[in-house]
Structure 1
Amino acid sequence: MDVSVTPRPQAGPFFTISGYTPLSVQMMMLRYWLSHGKPRRLKQLPADGDLIIEETGRETIPGGTRLVRYSIGNVVWGRESLWLNDRQELAAAATYAGNLPLEAVRDEYRAALPQLIRSAVADRIRELGTIHADSGADVAIVNALLIDGNGGAPIEGASVLVKDGRIAAAGPRDRVAIPRGVRTIDAGGKTLLPGLWEMHAHFAQVEYGPAYLAAGVTTARDCGGEFEFLTAVRDLINNRGGAGPRLILAGLVDGSGAGTFGVNWADTPEQGRAMVAKYKAAGFAQMKVYNRIKPEVLTAIAAEAHRQGMSVTGHVPNGMTAFQGVEAGMDQINHLGPVQQAVRAVGLEKAVQFFKDHHTVIDPTLAWGELLSRPRDVEITSFEPGFSKAPFTLTSMIGTASGQGARLAESFRIVRALVEAGVPVVAGTDKAVPAHSLHRELELYLQAGVPAMEVIRLATIGSARAMGMERETGSIEAGKRADMILVEGNPLQDFANLRKVVRVIANGRSYDPAKLWESVGFKP
Structure 2
Amino acid sequence: MKSNRRNRVPRCARLVCGPLFGCTLWAAAAGATGAVTLSPQTLGFVSHAQPLIAITHVRVIDGTGAPARENQTVVLRDGRIAALGRHVRVPKEATVIDGSGKSLIPGLVGMHDHMFYPAPKVNPQAKVAIYPEQPSSFPKLYLAGGVTTIRTTGSTEPYTDLELKKAIDAGLMPGPKMHTTGPYLEGKGALGPQMHELTGADDARATVEYWMDEGATSFKAYMHITRAELSAAIAAAHARGITVTGHLCSIGFTEAADLGIDDLEHGLVVDTEFTAGKQPDVCPDTKAASAHLATLTVDSPEIRQLIRHLVDKHVAVTSTLPVFETFVPGRAPVDQRVLDAMLPQTRTEYLATRERVAAQKDSSWPALFKLEMDFEHAFAKAGGTLLAGLDPTGFGGVIAGYGDQREVELLVEAGFSPLEAIRIATLNGARFLGEEKSIGSIEAGKVADLVLIDGNPASNIKDIEKVITVFKDGVGYDPAKLVQAANGTVGLR
Does the TM-score normalized on the shorter chain lie above 0.5? yes
What count of residue pairs does the alignment treat as equivalent? Answer: 392
**1:421 corresponds to:** 382
**1:409 corresponds to:** 370
**1:243 corresponds to:** 174
Cα pair distance change 1:289/1:217, threshold 3 Å: same
- From 338, 344, 361, the equivalent of 1:387 is 338
Secondary structure of the residue that 1:485 maps to in structure 2?
strand
Deviation at 1:188, TM superposition (A): 1.6
- From 214, 217, 221, the equivalent of 2:147 is 217
Check whether the contact 1:213–1:245 (CA below 8 A) recurs between aligned residues. yes
Cα pair distance change 1:303/1:317, threshold 3 Å: farther
Cα pair distance change 1:199/1:508, threshold 3 Å: same
- From 410, 422, 445, the equivalent of 1:479 is 445
- Letter in structure 2 aligned against 1:277: E
Structure 2 CA distance, aligned partners of 1:289 and 1:406?
A: 27
Structure 1 CA distance, aligned partners of 2:437 and 2:411?
A: 26
**1:349 corresponds to:** 304
Structure 1 CA distance, aligned partners of 2:185 and 2:248?
A: 11
The Cα offsets for residues 229-259 of structure 1, whole Å up to 9 and x where unpaired, read as 1111011112222111111112133345443
Q: Does 1:169 align with 2:88?
A: no
Structure 1 CA distance, aligned partners of 2:311 and 2:85?
A: 33
Cα pair distance change 1:489/1:473, threshold 3 Å: same
State, as a whole percentage, how many aligned pairs show the same letter. 29
* 1:259-274 matched pairs, under 5 angstroms: 259=190, 262-274=194-206
Deviation at 1:335, TM superposition (A): 1.2
The Cα offsets for residues 333-379 of structure 1, whole Å up to 9 and x where unpaired, read as 111224585685852321111111111111131210111x132xx37
**1:326 corresponds to:** 257
Check whether the contact 1:365–1:427 (CA below 8 A) recurs between aligned residues. yes
Structure 2 CA distance, aligned partners of 1:469 and 1:264?
A: 31
Deviation at 1:126, TM superposition (A): 8.8
Structure 1 CA distance, aligned partners of 2:144 and 2:424?
A: 20
Structure 1 CA distance, aligned partners of 2:240 and 2:196?
A: 19
Structure 2 CA distance, aligned partners of 1:281 and 1:233?
A: 17
The Cα offsets for residues 109-162 of structure 1, whole Å up to 9 and x where unpaired, read as xxxxxxxxxxxxxxxx99965743123322121110001111112111111111
Cα pair distance change 1:427/1:295, threshold 3 Å: same
**1:115 corresponds to:** none
- Letter in structure 1 aligned against 2:184: V
Structure 1 CA distance, aligned partners of 2:228 and 2:306?
A: 24
* 1:407-486 matched pairs, under 5 angstroms: 407-431=368-392, 432-486=398-452
Secondary structure of the residue that 2:468 maps to in structure 1?
strand
Cα pair distance change 1:127/1:140, threshold 3 Å: closer
- Letter in structure 2 aligned against 1:159: T
Q: Does 1:231 align with 2:162?
A: yes
- Letter in structure 2 aligned against 1:286: S
Q: Does 1:365 align with 2:320?
A: yes
**1:313 corresponds to:** 245
Q: Does 1:208 align with 2:138?
A: yes
Secondary structure of the residue that 1:242 maps to in structure 2?
coil
- Letter in structure 2 aligned against 1:412: M
Check whether the contact 1:488–1:497 (CA below 8 A) recurs between aligned residues. yes
* 1:246-257 matched pairs, under 5 angstroms: 246-255=177-186, 257=188
Cα pair distance change 1:222/1:171, threshold 3 Å: same
The Cα offsets for residues 233-291 of structure 1, whole Å up to 9 and x where unpaired, read as 01111222211111111213334544355344432322222222222222222111112
Q: Does 1:135 align with 2:64?
A: no
Structure 2 CA distance, aligned partners of 1:352 and 1:478?
A: 36
**1:512 corresponds to:** 478
Structure 2 CA distance, aligned partners of 1:427 and 1:434?
A: 13
Structure 2 CA distance, aligned partners of 1:258 and 1:348?
A: 28
**1:68 corresponds to:** none
**1:294 corresponds to:** 226
Cα pair distance change 1:364/1:183, threshold 3 Å: same
Structure 2 CA distance, aligned partners of 1:379 and 1:518?
A: 27
Structure 2 CA distance, aligned partners of 1:205 and 1:514?
A: 19
Q: Does 1:186 align with 2:98?
A: yes
Cα pair distance change 1:393/1:148, threshold 3 Å: farther
The Cα offsets for residues 96-121 of structure 1, whole Å up to 9 and x where unpaired, read as xxxxxxxxxxxxxxxxxxxxxxxxxx
Q: Does 1:494 align with 2:460?
A: yes
Structure 1 CA distance, aligned partners of 2:272 and 2:442?
A: 35
- Letter in structure 2 aligned against 1:220: I
Q: Which moved more, 1:342-351 or 1:427-436?
A: 342-351
Structure 2 CA distance, aligned partners of 1:295 and 1:140?
A: 53
- Letter in structure 2 aligned against 1:166: R
**1:72 corresponds to:** none
Structure 1 CA distance, aligned partners of 2:174 and 2:440?
A: 19
| 4+ long deviations beyond 6 Å | none
What is the TM-score normalised by the length of structure 2? 0.75
Cα pair distance change 1:237/1:423, threshold 3 Å: same
Deviation at 1:180, TM superposition (A): 2.3
Q: Does 1:196 align with 2:108?
A: yes
Cα pair distance change 1:476/1:130, threshold 3 Å: closer
RMSD: 2.4
Secondary structure of the residue that 1:134 maps to in structure 2?
strand
Uncovered stretches (5+) of structure 2, i.e. residues with no partner? 1-37, 116-132, 275-292, 393-397
The Cα offsets for residues 50-89 of structure 1, whole Å up to 9 and x where unpaired, read as xxxxxxxxxxxxxxxxxxxxxxxxxxxxxxxxxxxxxxxx
Secondary structure of the residue that 2:109 maps to in structure 1?
strand
The Cα offsets for residues 288-313 of structure 1, whole Å up to 9 and x where unpaired, read as 11122221111111011111010101
Structure 2 CA distance, aligned partners of 1:328 and 1:150?
A: 31
Check whether the contact 2:111–2:388 (CA below 8 A) recurs between aligned residues. yes
**2:348 corresponds to:** 396
Deviation at 1:469, TM superposition (A): 1.2
Secondary structure of the residue that 1:479 maps to in structure 2?
coil
Structure 2 CA distance, aligned partners of 1:522 and 1:214?
A: 15
The structure with the larger Rg is 1
- Letter in structure 1 aligned against 2:96: T
Secondary structure of the residue that 1:313 maps to in structure 2?
strand
Deviation at 1:213, TM superposition (A): 1.2
